[in-house]
Each structure stands twice: as C-alpha cells, then as structure tokens.
Amino acid sequence: MHAAASPPGSQTPQAYDSEFALQLEKLRELLGTYLRAEDIERVAEAFRFSAEAHKDQFRISGDPYFSHPLAVAGILTGWHLDAQALMAALLHDVTEDTEITPAEIGERFGKVTAELVDGVSKLDKIEFQSIEDAQAENFRKMLLAMARDVRVILIKLADRLHNMRTLDTLRPDKRRRIARETLEIYAPIANRLGLNNLYRELQELAFRHVWPLRYRVLSKAIKAARGNRREVVGKILAGIKARLAEAGIEAEVMGREKHLYGIYRKMRGKSLTFSQVLDIYGFRVIVRDVPTCYLVLGALHGLYKPVPGKFKDYIAIPKGNGYQSLHTTLIGPYGTPVEVQIRTTEMHHVAEAGVASHWLYKDDKSLSELQQRTHKWLQSLLELQSASGDSAEFLEHLKIDLFPGEVYVFTPKGRILPLPRGSTPVDFAYAVHTDIGNRCIACRINHELMPLRTELRNGDQVEVITATHANPNPAWLSYVKTGKARSQIRHFLKTTQQEESVALGERLLAQALRPLDLSFERIGEPVWDKFVLECGAKSKTEVLTDIGLGKRLPAIVARRLAERIEKGEAAVEARAQGPILIRGSEGMAVQLAHCCRPIPGDPIVGVIKKGQGLVVHLADCPSISIRGRGERGKWVDVEWERDSGKLFEAAIKIEAENRRGVLAKVAAEIAEAGSNIQHVTMDDEQGVYTSLYFTLQVSNRVHLARILRALRAIPEVVRIARVRE
C-alpha cells in the first residue's frame, strides 16, 4: 500500500543495499530474543526475497518499498509470532505488486506461508461493480481465511497499523476513506480479538484523519487540562498506594490518561462539553491473584465513596473477547470522578495483547479459554458467510456483530451469553442454536411470558419456547440486533421464497401454455436449455422463480417456448384455460392483498407484481380498477380451493352505544361464533357512540356472515360493516 512505481527522489543501488543490510541486522536482533537460529534464517531469506521483488518500487513517501513489509513484521515480533507468520508478513504484498505467484511462494517458503499470504492479499484480479463490492469481497475473503488461521488477521491488523502510521503522505479524501474503514472494521476486529493496545492506537490514528480539526482542538484542551489536574492525579495516586499498603496488599498502581477518541465519543454520546468530562484520567491496580482483586475493591471503596451503578465485575462474567477486570468509579478529592480497573497479571496480559498473548505468554493458564472463545467467534463467521447471500450482506452482518456485547443473560441452565445492547429473545435463541431460532414461537424472561421483541437486560434469565412446525417471521428483521440472527432469518426467508416461487411459477406457466395447446410436461430439456441461454438466466429454476416473483410474464415465456417446439411433433389435446386454485397456505409466493382482505367465497382476481409474486385481490378492489386496462396482461384467473381448512383475516367496524361492558359482550359473541380476535382498536372520543375495529380470523365468507349476524343481535350495537380498505 502507498506504493509508487518510481522514487520521488533518486537512490543509488549502493545506498539501497546499505539500507537493506542495516534493516536485516536489526531484524535478526529482534528475532534473536525468542526464535531459534534456523527460524531466524528462514525469516531472513523471506526478507531478502521480498526486498528483491520490490527492488524497483518505492512508497509515496520516497522510502524503499521493503520498509513497509519489514515494519509489519516488526509489529508482529512484538507479539512473538512464529516464523511462518513473519515470513507471510514480509511477503504479503509480493503477489499483489509483482509477477510472483502464490505457487512460487509455496514452493520456496512452504504451503502454510503461501496460504497466509493468500489470505491477506486483495482480490485485485477480479472485476467488481463498485469499490464497495470490492471492499466487501476483500473483507469476506480475509475473514474466512482468518477463520481457518487467526494469524491472517494479525498480519492484516499489523499491515493496517503501519499504513495508518504513514497515512500523511496520501490525499485528504483517501486518508478519510481509509481512516473511516479502520474505525468501522479494523479497530472493532482488534477489540473483538482483545488486542487492546492496537485497538486504541487504530482509533486514535483514525480519529486524527477523519475529524482532523476536532482532533487538534481536543488535543490542545487535554494539554491545557493536564497541568491543572496534575496535582489532583498525584494526590489520588498517592492515596490509593497508601491505602493498599495499610491493608497489606502488594500491588502495582498506575495512572493513565484516557485516549482522545474515547473522550470524544463520551462527549458526543452524552452531549457533554470538554469541561464536563471530568474523568479523563483512569487508574489501574495489578495484583497477583483473583481474591486480592476483591480485597483491593473493598479497600478502595473505604477510601473513596463509590458511584452507585458504576461497578462492573468482568472477572465473574468476562467480556466476549476474554477481557477480565473489576471496574469501579469513585468520587475522589474535590468531587472528581475516579475510574479504577483492578486485575491480575494474567488478566493484564490478555487485556493488552488478547489472542496474540497465546504467542507472547505461552505459560498463562487463562489462555486456553480465550482460544476457545476466539475459535467460537471465528466459526460464527463461517455460519454468517453460509447464510449471507453476497459479500455486501456478509459485511453488513459482520459490522453488526463486531461491536462488543454489553448485555449478559442466562440460559435456564445458568450458562451466560453475551449479546449486543438492545438484543431480544430472538437474538438469544439464534445465539444458542440456529434451529432454536428458526423454531422459536415465544419466550419466558425471568419465568414470565413476554413478547419476542422485548429488549433484554443484564442478568435476565431467558427460556425460549419452540414448536416443530414454526418458521422465522419476516417481522423479526425489524428488531433483531445480532448479525447471526439477521443473516439466518434472511437466509431462511430467501430459501423458502425461492421454493414457493418455483412452485407458483410452474402453475402460472402451465396455465399460460394451455391456450397454446401445450402442457408443461411437453417441453423437453433441450428446449429449456436454449431458452435459458437466450434469455440470460442461469437455469430453468431461475426462470420459474422469476415468473413466480412477477419478474417475467408467464404469457411471454409460454409464447417463446412454443416457438421452439418443433412443428412436426404430435398435436396435444387442447384444454380450456383453467384458473389457479388458491389455498391460502402457499406462503410468500402468493399473498392476499391488504387493501381489500379477500376471504374464501369472495370473487377474486390475481395480479402478478414484480418482486412479490401473485397478489390476490377482490374482483372489485379499487386499487386494481384504478390501474385499469394497462395491467390486464398481468391479471391471472384464480379461484378459491374448497375447504382449505385455513383461517383468513377479515376486518370489521362496529358502532355501538358507549356503555360499560359493550366490548366484553362483543368479544364473547365473536368467541361463541368460533372466531379468534387478532387485533382490536377503538375511537377515543367520549360521545354517545363509539367505533370498535376488529381484525378476526374466519374460515370463509359464510363464517363471517354468521359472526356479523350474532353481533347484530347485541342491543347496544347500532351499525356493523366489513372493512375492505
């Protein structure tokens, strides 16, 4: 990245070789602290290969291009990554910017190194519709490679960090685009993997380039405040150390200034001015074991008063990325809020280096659980990919999933699940298992039946009620929060809609073929193959799906298929064009219009609508008569199937005397007539009469007439009518 074909200035071959030799020696020194001699030689060989491949390339800054892969490898040595990862870091731009292929890298440096390089490389050889599509596909490829080997993302994050550190050489618009991408994707990924130091630095660098003026103003304000608050910070630090010494607790205590982006986000989120953000300093206490953490907490709460509701125990309930600490906010001297984090040495390792601490601190016992958490999240990416239709959708779901879980809820067996703030029982169901989400019909929160759209709170115990024949509801998409829930619901609905659309497409095409003396079965595969090729579809199934969704008119498809039938074939017995039978249970491919709410017994007509399939209206529905003859080509003859056994929605309006108990009488009569009330509303006007609006479930028009007769018999009912609009 940031490469130029030729140097802005000139550099002699001798100077280039001298710089290379100097950097190689520095790299050897770094690696000598933790790698074996033979591994150091392999990495040095990869550096030579990379420097030779990039010999005629320079960064926009004028530096030799090899300085970039070398810097990326240097960042990875800070995490003590192995030789394969370091070789991949040194070679990660070779396949993009030179003629060298992944196969050549595999032969020379091993299959694993080649796979790591391929996972990090962009998809430059494929043409995309837009920059957004290319970006989405690059992320999808990188994250799927990361699911197989986490080192891919560690290399990519190190690559992004160095590019962000050297971003000043680019145009302002390009700087903003890369910085925004870093804030939206790379920084959250670093956070999700527990790479806290990297996460903070990426945020700070991105903040400086996305909002440069705000960054400068806030930076200046921090410097001014630093002098004013130095005395307060020193007093708090001395007070904490003295109290812990009195309690006989050995601890390392440090004060730290909060990051600019964290302060800016707090100001923006809570609409505060800088002077109102008092806690720009935080304190960290590091001790030897978990019991001591709680002893420190007690000692500090005795020193300064804690702020109610500002204590968080991430030791008992760790964050999704494995982070553990006790967080408490105290009221310090002069009324200043003081934020304190208390953790053990092992927790501190994980908090600072996250998943990279697997290489950095191999003896830590807490790392095995962290690896399991990371592996589980990486596997969830594979589930997201399989459920997402395309790269852009995958990226959308990933962005939703990347922001850290804030709500911790319990399963009936006491297992803790972290979910994003605002999650619902549907998100919880999909977090437990995809099948439970798909079959979810109701839930109990803290042993009480609650709606599925209820927002979950910390500590809720959630029990999901499932049914064998239940399916996801499209309405869930309006309130679910997690990427997994959203992608699985969409995947199910797409699959179901396609199956139903294919079945409807077959029925519509068969109906359109009858006037042409053809049957659906009569059309052979060769005819279909020619038609599919000519119309630009992928398959016969796609053509039938398009017919079912209203994207292709069945009459035109039928005519073009008939033209391809050989004239010499035997004649087919002509049949009258029969109507399509409507059962009411066809699913999403056949919809009953909301504007007129047809029910069995009503005269009906079908209209093919693009993207919706077949929409069934009343024959005299104003919405189709307004469109007039222009859409007659899209009309389809339909009839109700007898005794479908399905219930349909019908709306009625009742005007009744405004007396006590009227609603109860009406509801009782509806229940007595064998109907269920789906929805009820009433006018708020306090007059002599009131209007009641009911949505009822009925089996047919006769059933509705029976209900209306029963309601007219109520003395208080003045007028009653079916509502069709």
Q: Which CATH architecture has domain 218-364?
A: 2-Layer Sandwich (3.30)
pLDDT over 70 (residue 228)? no
Locate CATH 3.30.460.10 in the chain.
218-364
| Range of weakest confidence among 59-68, 170-179, 289-298, 305-314 | 59-68
Asked if 698 and 647 touch (Cβ cutoff 8 Å), the reply is: yes
Cα–Cα distance between 273 and 257 in angstroms, integer? Answer: 18
pLDDT band at 262; cut points 50, 70, 90: confident
> Which residue type sits at 324?
Q
Q: pLDDT tens for residues 51-74?
A: 888 777 777 777 778 788 889 998
Task: Please list, in sequence order, all residues whose beta carbon lies within 8 angstroms of the beta carbon of residue 475, skipping any fewer than 6 positions away.
Answer: none
Identity of the residue numbered 307: V
Kindly report, residue by residue over 384-415, the tens digit of the pLDDT.
666 555 666 666 666 656 655 567 888 888 88
Of the residues 19, 97, 118, 517, only one is catalytic, namely 97
Kindly tell me if the per-residue pLDDT of 568 is higher than 50. no
From 39, 45, 96, 201, the catalytic residue? 96
Q: Could you tell me which residues come within 8 angstroms of residue 105 by beta carbon, excluding any fewer than 6 positions away?
A: 91, 94, 95, 113, 114, 117
pLDDT band at 13 (very low <50, low <70, confident <90, very high): low
213 has pLDDT over 80 = yes
For 2, the token pair is: 């940031």
At residue 360, the pLDDT reads 63
CA angle 87, 39, 14 (to 5 degrees): 65
Domain with CATH 1.10.3210.10 in the chain: 3-165
Quick one: which of 564, 428, 411 has its CA closest to 484?
428
Average pLDDT over the chain, rounded to an integer: 80
570 pLDDT tier (thresholds 50, 70, 90)? very low
The backbone region for 602, taken as left when phi is positive above 0, alpha when psi lies in -120 to 50, beta otherwise, is: beta
438 neighbors 491 (Cβ within 8 angstroms): no
Render 562-624 in DSSP notation, one character per residue: HHHS-TTSPPPPP---PPEEE-S-S-TTEEE-TTT---TTS-EEEEEETTTEEEEEETT-HHH
Enumerate the CATH 3.30.70.260 domain ranges in the chain, comma separated: 648-723
Average pLDDT score over residue span 22-26: 80
96 classed as catalytic: yes
Q: Can you tell me the distance from the alpha carbon of 404 to that of 269, in angstroms, rounded to the nearest whole number? A: 16
Q: Which residue has the higher pLDDT, 86 or 123?
A: 86
Least confident residue range of 51-65, 119-133, 145-159, 168-182: 119-133
pLDDT at 591 over 80: no
CATH of domain 3-165: 1.10.3210.10
CATH architecture of 648-723: 2-Layer Sandwich (3.30)
Residue 242: per-residue pLDDT: 92
User: Which residue would you say has higher pLDDT here, 16 or 39?
Assistant: 39
Whether the per-residue pLDDT at 291 is higher than 70: the answer is yes
Q: Is residue 725 predicted with pLDDT exceeding 60?
A: yes
Does the pLDDT of residue 31 top 80, yes or no? Answer: yes
The pLDDT tens digits for 475-520 are 888 888 888 888 888 888 777 767 777 777 777 788 777 777 777 7
Which residues lie across from 413 on neighbouring strands? none
User: For residue 692, which of 725, 719, 724 has the smallest C-alpha distance?
Assistant: 719
| 276-290, 292-306, 705-719: least confidently modelled range | 276-290
